[in-house]
Amino acid sequence: MPSVLFYLFSAIMLGFGILVVALRNPVSSALSLAASFLGLAALFVSLGAFFIGVIQVLVYAGAVMVLFLFIIMLLDIQAEQRRKLNLPAVIGGSLLVLVFALQLATVLGDFPAGHRILNAAPLSPTAALEARRAAGTVHASIDQDLAAGKLPDVKLIGETLFSQYNFHLQIIGVLLLVATVGVIVISRREDKTAAPAEPSSPAPTPP
């Protein structure tokens, strides 16, 4: 990818990310977050991870943020008042950011691929195919794509998820099911004491 595009999309992502905090109108903030997600998705796509990029748009920008917007509009949350600076909160926030940045730097510093320049490590489907053959994994559709010089990212993710991490996937599925049932139970609990003062809004369910 031309590095110009990398800087462009990074700027979109970070710029809108700052706007999320800086803007006072909740609707503007929510939309900025969606735009920031779009920038992030573009970065994923530029790394060849089409599937992750599209899921980023489909799930976060297309579903979660729409739900957020829906709730903000339904509850009619007004623009936030400008408050004076809260010093302990600012110091706490900066400390948290610093610790997180340090953690990220140490983890990424130990990651071997982090020391290689992307242009010096091009994607090589044929090499990947040979590695797969050596390891003895066979999947007709994936091998065909790799032999044709294409990166079948969706298929590779699916293969890894449903073979290597199948058990973990099942557990996450059960957890999500429990959460869904919980949401239904909470949102449909009948109020036996008195008539509710105001109509209750349905709880948002982040997927």
Q: For binding to other proteins (CB under 8 A), which residues are involved? A: 27, 31, 34, 50-51, 54-55, 57-58, 61-63, 66-67, 69-70, 73-74, 141, 150-154
- Three-state secondary-structure class, residue 82: coil
We find the least distance from the C-beta atom of residue 175 to other proteins, in angstroms, to be 18
We find the least distance from the C-beta atom of residue 34 to other proteins, in angstroms, to be 7
Closest CA to 126 of 97, 158, 95, 148: 148
Ramachandran quadrant class, 48 (left: phi over 0; alpha: psi -120 to 50; beta: rest): left
Between 74 and 131, whose beta carbon lies closer to other proteins?
74
Which letter, b or e, does each residue of 76-106 get, where b requires 16 or more Cβ atoms within 10 Å of its Cβ? eeeeeeeeeeeeeeeeeeeeeeeeeeeeeee
Between 67 and 128, whose beta carbon lies closer to other proteins?
67
Alpha carbon of residue 183 to chain centroid: 22
We find the least distance from the C-beta atom of residue 196 to other proteins, in angstroms, to be 20
Between 93 and 202, whose beta carbon lies closer to other proteins?
202
We find the least distance from the C-beta atom of residue 161 to other proteins, in angstroms, to be 15
| Sign of the C-alpha dihedral computed for residues 186, 188, 189 and 191 taken in this order | positive
Between 93 and 204, whose beta carbon lies closer to other proteins?
204
